[in-house]
């Protein structure tokens, strides 16, 4: 079995996990909540091998930087448990999407655990178990990081904004659909909601894939968060009317200098926020900080099919999946280890070092 869809019956337990490992009679599988079908229907995409998972990653059935890292780690474990070439599987998974650094991080972590076990004389079953344990540990750590980011982010909002209910603008999707926990930027907004401090969550539609309109609205509904949807090009008038108190976004890669790659449309929001003196806050785990990428110009920006924009009118389409926001436009980067503000190479390196110390303890 390579892959198949399972329609989730009405009345099924909610919320469904974005990703789960399952043991079936014919072998282990990775089960994904297919994000391409949301919110119209909840269907699970069952990946029985690495090629199926690569397709799921490339078609965005599974997406979001932290969750891609978790999926990549489980994909390595899937190959190992099924007796397939782990190094070949790792290479295929890591190359599935180029911009999100977490994917490679998760793949290398599980593949490294498998390699270390083999080097220590473990048999195939024990080495596969080591890869699976690494994936499960990453999954747990991401959930813990999500909760800590929510706490740090809420404290930062309270520090930066005057007393009262916050009006927060967000872009793309950054909730549980991208994470082992409640998410990144959405987790902060959700914490504000639960603290009674969120008046409105402004949700950008987020062209071209409508991940705000489809996914963030879906998650806001599930939590009873008061939100209003707007087209991306309406954000400017919203700022001009004084209706935005802060911008919260996630990230797919943060370069060493603090440049932030996120879903296309993030950079214009940062410019608007700077002009209107509104805090522009990036929320991402330290696994999204890539100290090996020196600056924004060094980030590879994924180009996607023009058919995602138009297959009817335009013969040629410019369709970047992401854009890059320079650090001088970023008020703060919130991680599970604390906040970088101002955003500097030294502060990001300090937070990453702290994260490594915690994971080794």
Helix (H, G, I), strand (E, B) or coil at 176: helix
Kindly report each contact of residues 4-13 with a partner whose C-beta sits within 8 Å and lies 24 or more positions away, as own/partner.
4/45, 4/46, 4/48, 5/34, 5/43, 5/44, 5/45, 5/46, 6/31, 6/43, 6/44, 6/46, 7/41, 7/43, 8/41, 8/42, 8/43, 8/44, 12/42
CB count within 10 Å of CB 231 equals 12
Known catalytic residues are 252
Phi (first) and psi of residue 17, to 5 degrees: -65, 145
Radius of gyration of the chain from Cα atoms? 20
Any idea which residue has 């965005």 for tokens?
60
Pull the structure tokens for residue 150: 């929510």
Closest CA to 292 of 101, 119, 84: 101
């Amino acid at each position: 079995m390579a892959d198949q869809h399972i329609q989730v019956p009405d009345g099924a337990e909610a919320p469904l996990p974005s990703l789960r490992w399952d043991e079936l009679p014919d072998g282990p599988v990775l089960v994904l909540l297919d994000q391409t079908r949301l919110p119209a229907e909840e269907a699970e995409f069952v990946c029985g091998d690495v090629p199926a998972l690569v397709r799921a990653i490339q078609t965005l059935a599974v997406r979001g930087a932290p969750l891609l890292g978790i999926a990549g780690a489980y994909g390595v474990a899937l190959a190992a448990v099924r007796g397939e070439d782990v190094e070949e599987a790792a290479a295929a998974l890591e190359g599935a999407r180029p911009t999100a650094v977490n994917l490679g991080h998760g793949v290398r972590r599980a593949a490294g655990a498998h390699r270390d076990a083999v080097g220590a004389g473990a048999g195939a079953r024990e080495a596969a178990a080591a890869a699976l344990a690494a994936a499960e540990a990453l999954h747990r750590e991401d959930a813990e990081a999500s909760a800590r980011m929510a706490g740090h982010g809420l404290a930062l909002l309270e520090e930066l904004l005057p007393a009262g209910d916050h009006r927060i603008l967000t872009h793309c999707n950054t909730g549980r659909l991208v994470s082992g926990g409640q998410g990144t930027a959405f987790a902060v907004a959700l914490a504000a909601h639960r603290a009674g401090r969120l008046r409105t969550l402004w949700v950008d539609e987020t062209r071209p894939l409508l991940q705000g309109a489809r996914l963030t609205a879906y998650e806001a509904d599930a939590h009873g968060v008061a939100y209003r949807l707007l087209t991306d090009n309406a954000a400017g008038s919203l700022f001009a009317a004084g209706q935005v108190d802060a911008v919260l976004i996630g990230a797919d890669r943060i370069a060493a200098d603090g440049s932030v790659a996120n879903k296309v449309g993030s950079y214009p929001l940062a410019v608007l926020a700077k002009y209107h003196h509104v805090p522009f806050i990036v929320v991402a785990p330290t696994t999204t900080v890539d100290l090996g990428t020196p600056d924004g110009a060094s980030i590879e920006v994924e180009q996607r099919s023009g058919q995602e924009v138009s297959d009817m009118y335009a013969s040629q389409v410019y369709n970047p999946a992401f854009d890059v926001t320079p650090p001088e436009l970023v008020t703060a980067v919130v991680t599970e280890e604390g906040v970088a503000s101002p955003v500097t190479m030294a502060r990001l390196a300090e937070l990453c070092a702290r994260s490594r110390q915690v994971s080794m303890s």
